[in-house]
Amino acid sequence: MKKIIGILLSAVFALTPATVFATQADLRLNGDYDFKTSDEFNSSTFFAGNKVEDNAVVHGIDFAFGSEVENKGSYEYGFHAGNKVVTSGTYERDLFAFGSEIVIAREAKIARDFYAAGSKIEINSNIPGSVFATASKIVLNNVTIGGDLRVAAAEVEIIGDVKIGGTFVYNEDLNVVGKDTMIAGEIETYQPILLSFRWNENLRIIFAVLSLASSIVIAVVFILIAKRFFNSLKEKAETADAKYVLVNLGIGLLGVIVVPVLAALLIATIVGIPAGLLLLLAFVIALVLSVTVFAAFVGGKIMPKQSAILSTTIVLILMAVIGYIPVAGWIINSVCGLIGFGIILTSIFDKKVAQKAKVEEPKEEE
């Protein structure tokens, strides 16, 4: 079990943005907070605020998020998101932008490709590479796109001379305004795919079977890895009463409320981001395993002579059947999961208390 947790924690450290530790990063949850910088950074950066004025020189990836984001600096890559995003910066490689209104100013220089999604996208600067955009309206103002222009939109407005070196690919129901002033290497249209999904009884059964199968696999793997824990749980189940179940239900309910809030507070402090992410990871793992723990507890209570794997599997099947009861089934299984989560929390606490007592236990005099 320790090896698996170690691997998962290592993955979290690997995915955590390096900017928090290597560079100046400023993140505030106050919506009135404005952020402005013009410094130089030798690694990726993360800037956030209500209004962000990013004039930095970033030798890496520049992440900028806010209600209003304005970029005038120099970056290797740009990832910008906000209600309104305006950039006149220089990008050595690609730019990714997301927001309600996205404006690429005439002064902007993008060395390769531009990826965007928003309500309105306005491009006023030449782009040597390709453009991939989805929006309600896209405006091309006297620009040259060296590669392809691939869009999914309701309207594209062509202003002045617009040249596309590659292929102009768009949905066939697109309204192109000013198409006569545009020159493109090739033009291709496609028919939008409308997916229709109906949740019928056959799909419901298939989903239930797959869900049950995954729960059993997780349970078997967990039991094989943490044999000592489940042996201890089986011993507790034999003597447990209604009070034990109710206490763990209360602890589980409290845990699902407190742990996410605590993790969010840690992440908000910047310094506590690693601890917050690790706490969230542990929280998710515990939630996934809570059903297995509850099933093992009940199995140990009603089938003490059977193996943990067999008794747990039988209880999981019973829980899957109960889940088919309208409304009540979902409530019952949720309560079961909370009890299992509470058992996990109390087991961790009991272990820590036992270890502390062992350390503080005085040595017998000879």
> Does residue 6 fall inside a structural domain?
no
Looking at the fold, whether 245 and 300 belong to one and the same domain comes out as yes
Cα separation, 117 vs 137, whole angstroms:
10
Quick: pLDDT tens for 1-20. 334 333 333 333 333 333 33
pLDDT at site 200: 58
Quick: pLDDT tens for 64-108. 877 889 999 999 999 888 889 999 999 999 999 988 899 999 999
Instruction: Evaluate whether 86 touches 105 at the Cβ level (below 8 Å).
Output: yes
- Give the domain range for residue 37: 18-190
Percent of the chain with pLDDT over 70: 82
Looking at the fold, whether 340 and 219 belong to one and the same domain comes out as yes
Say how many domains are in the chain.
2
Quick: pLDDT tens for 141-185. 999 999 999 998 999 999 999 999 999 999 988 999 988 889 999
Looking at the fold, whether 185 and 206 belong to one and the same domain comes out as no
Cα separation, 131 vs 309, whole angstroms:
54
The residue out of 190, 220, 253 marking a domain boundary is 190
pLDDT at site 181: 86
Looking at the fold, whether 143 and 235 belong to one and the same domain comes out as no
The residue out of 127, 157, 190 marking a domain boundary is 190
Residue 196 has pLDDT above 70, yes or no: no
Cα separation, 61 vs 181, whole angstroms:
36
> Does residue 2 fall inside a structural domain?
no
Sorting pLDDT into bands at 50, 70 and 90, what band is 25? Answer: very low
Q: Is the C-alpha dihedral spanning 206, 211, 212, 216 positive or negative?
A: positive
Exposed, middle or buried: residue 331 (CB in 10 Å: 0-12, 13-18, 19+)? exposed
The residue out of 190, 209, 228 marking a domain boundary is 190
Looking at the fold, whether 120 and 24 belong to one and the same domain comes out as yes
Percent of the chain with pLDDT over 90: 30
Looking at the fold, whether 209 and 129 belong to one and the same domain comes out as no
Looking at the fold, whether 171 and 267 belong to one and the same domain comes out as no
Looking at the fold, whether 208 and 185 belong to one and the same domain comes out as no
> Does residue 74 fall inside a structural domain?
yes
